[in-house]
Chain A
């Protein structure tokens, strides 16, 4: 119960700040928290990235192995995104099989990567219809201080950019860099009445878990949208969120390129 009282106090604080046109941490409404990316920290993985977005921390590891293609796309590699919201990352996460929140998170990250065609899956065919490369993207939450989704999406694409296909280990020739052609960026906004805050913190989320995620590719196409939470969204607000998300995604993509090109 003490938790509930605390969150009520935080909620009032967030809302009173909002009335003055401010956020509790002084950020602008469309501003992301400080982003820190480190790649290649897991040597055993084919690719990996650690992302710190404000105080939210997540590690993504990529493992690859040959396997069977989907029957309807026999000549393309397969990508599988999975998220584990382990109890270490938040007092509200519980051990056990993935719940609806971790499934939703993984699926929204997956859609961004898939629909932007970030990974060139046609270059991952070993033997058409029989053998292709399977990419496992495993999202491992470390600390959920809000907006784990965007942090996970950033970490996933950075890990993919950092991935070497382990061909030699499977006797399939020389290792090569995973072909990555796009950098999808997801932008999650917390919806509060007719206002919205980009990249919400856990404290801001105490006003209600009502978010809208828009994923944008490098050509400003929208590649995924997810409305999450029990709220009604007005059309004008939606179009405003679209505009702001496109702008915010550019900054994050630049930041990814700046920090990742150094490391990758």
Chain B
């Protein structure tokens, strides 16, 4: 991939989207049989699967907390998920993503309800195309609901990038690689409203005014994703009700 000369032509991005438009999203709930909760999610060319196990016993035992559940989050990329084969296992980037994503979920899961237990969240990236951490959080969120884990609300994640000086929602690979800045967000949405920020990172160059603008753009995108997460969950439970 080489740097495109221009990212925005006639108000349209390289893939035809407007700056405030998301990539197509597909969500499938209860995708895996063995997991307590699961979700398959596509966000543009991202293909991710999330599984939730727990609340369950903690192994190794010394990690257990007598006051609350411990949350573990593993973001893992398949070797074939990117252009050049990725060496299997966690690299520094994956470890950092797992850490900040775990902390975002720790802030919303009602972990005091499950002392001495573990809630494990595993996300596998089968194909990555910019914004895989946001796709994974969206999938994990749905998988947690599917597993019946009590939460303060749902987490919805989306990134904003800056290309040619313009802020764009949900950047694709070219915009992510060659853009001037990138901010992934995850918001806590409760009662249909965005309440607070659970995940926030940024790299690139932005003024503080641009960052404020980026939050608003991200919030707009997050509300759209939230509706899709909600629909996918509702669909599953309605179908389950009909089958009974």
Which positions in A face B, CB cutoff 8 Å? 98, 100, 103-104, 106-107, 111, 114-116, 212, 217, 220-235, 238-239, 242-243, 246
Contacts and interface: CB of A to CB of B under 8 A. Distances in A.
A114 B204 CA distance: 9
Contacts of A217: 205
Nearest to B105: A230
A235 B211 CA distance: 11
A239 B205 CA distance: 16
Interface of B: 92-93, 95-96, 98-100, 102-104, 106-108, 181, 183, 188, 195-208, 211-212, 215
Contacts of A239: 208, 212
Nearest to A230: B106
A227 B200 contact: yes
Contact of B195 (A222, A228, A230, A232): A232
Contacts of A225: 183, 200-202, 211
A115 B107 CA distance: 29
B203 A224 contact: yes
Contacts of B201: 225-227
A222 B234 CA distance: 40
A233 B200 contact: yes
A233 B104 CA distance: 10
Secondary structure at chain A's binding surface: helix, strand, loop or mixed? mixed
B197 A227 contact: yes
23 contacts: A100-B98, A100-B99, A103-B92, A104-B96, A107-B96, A115-B181, A116-B205, A217-B205, A221-B207, A222-B206, A222-B208, A223-B203, A225-B200, A225-B202, A227-B100, A227-B201, A230-B107, A232-B195, A232-B198, A233-B196, A233-B198, A235-B215, A243-B208
A170 to B, nearest CB: 28
A212 to B, nearest CB: 8
Contact of B211 (A106, A230, A242): A242
Contacts of A226: 100, 200-202
Given A100-B95, A230-B107, A238 B203 contact: no
Nearest to A223: B205
B212 to A, nearest CB: 6
Contacts of A103: 92, 95-96, 99
Given A107-B92, A232-B196, A115 B203 contact: yes
Contacts of B203: 111, 114-115, 223-224
Nearest to B202: A225
A224 B202 contact: yes
B205 A115 contact: yes
Given A217-B205, A229-B103, A232-B188, A100 B96 contact: yes
A233 B202 contact: no
Contacts of A242: 208, 211
Contacts of B108: 232
